[in-house]
Amino acid sequence: MPESDKSLIDICIERIDENQIKIKWNPRSYQGFVSIYQSSAANQTVTCKLIEKTSDHHLILTDPQNEVRNYYRLIPENNEGIWVGERRVPMTGTVNFRDMGGYRSKDGKHTKWGQLFRGDSLQRATESDLLLIKQMNIGLIFDFRRAEEVQKGPNRFPENHPLEYQHLPVTHGEFNFISALERLKKNKMDWIKEETIIKGYLENAENYATTWGDIIRHLAKNDCPPVFFHCTAGKDRTGICAALILSALQIPRETILSDYLLSNGYIKDVWIRVKKMIEEQGVNSDKMKPFFSAPEYAMTALLDHLEKAYGSAIDFLIKKADISRETIDKLREKHLE
């Protein structure tokens, strides 16, 4: 275990309300003082400012959402310290926009904060959301939505900000809310069975291996800017891409599953609204819930498939997505610390 992890473990940030956050860590891991620094730029110590020194194992700070994306460096006495940030980027027009930093790899390193972002589309992004995207210096966006989805809800982008947009459509079933309700009213449910959903995940991994390979090659470049990749809700197509990236970075399977399942909490309010609409149509909402959630069985089945068919997710990337070992090494060098 790295020296830094002997002092502070189980560090997390919880948002209390629109203006406050709580940083806490495991009190059994460290009994001394911790210096807490704040920076609006991830991984950049030169921009840090000391905001508190405490031995209370937690700290409540003023950090208004939708203004500036802050990161924090926690430094125990006589130790190196570690960066932390809010997992979810609090925005007003998106619900599932989040940072993939801070995940511990199998060799004790961590994914860098402020480099890899995943989420739902930016079609409802507000002006304050666009300012956050600009401040986070996101310079490359991968959009997995079909052409029809993009046409119905085109992304909004910040003005006067260098940003490359790549539309990489991935077909993840044809879902039409109205026709789905009609089919459920007629008790036609073959399309919503567990095995059908699993089949969609496996086909998306296999049929779009070239797409996933191209993305990882971009991420491995030294000059690759912070990246945001998304679909419509940020759970299925985005979840597959995130799982493959994290696998290449040697993040444990249980962490990959945890990252995937976070969508269920973040899109919960959306599901509550949709559930009411469904029930008003006289349809059992539980039948449609898989399309408004991230079902654990789907990601589990995908990871099982990659291990059974290829040996591992990394071997899938090498054999099917045509990713070289050198590219994987470069990806780890750039995105782990």
- Same domain, residue pair 161 and 299: yes
**Of 86, 119, 141, at which residue does a domain stop?**
86
How many other C-beta atoms are found inside a 10 Å radius of the C-beta of residue 73?
21
Element (H, E) at 285: none
Instruction: Report H helices in 168-322.
Output: 177-185, 194-207, 209-219, 237-248, 253-266, 268-280, 296-310, 313-319
DSSP annotation of 191: G
- Give the CATH number of the domain where residue 38 resides: 2.60.40.10
Residue 75's identity, in one-letter code, is: I
3-state secondary structure of 140: strand
- Give the CATH number of the domain where residue 325 resides: 3.90.190.10
**Of 67, 86, 105, at which residue does a domain stop?**
86
Model confidence, pTM: 0.91
> What does the pLDDT profile of the chain (337 residues) look like in tens digits?
344 445 677 888 999 999 999 999 988 878 889 999 999 988 888 789 999 999 998 999 999 988 899 999 999 987 888 999 999 999 999 999 999 999 999 999 999 999 999 999 999 999 999 999 999 999 999 999 999 999 999 999 999 999 999 999 998 755 555 555 566 556 555 556 788 889 999 999 999 999 999 999 999 999 999 999 999 999 999 999 999 999 999 999 999 999 999 999 999 888 888 788 777 777 777 777 777 789 999 999 999 999 999 999 999 999 999 999 999 999 999 999 9
In angstroms and rounded to an integer, the radius of gyration of the C-alpha atoms of the chain is 21
- The phi and psi torsions of 141 (rounded to 5 degrees) equal -125, 130
- Same domain, residue pair 201 and 279: yes
- Same domain, residue pair 305 and 215: yes
**Residue 80: which domain range?**
1-86
Q: For residue 283, what are its two tokens?
A: 């349809």
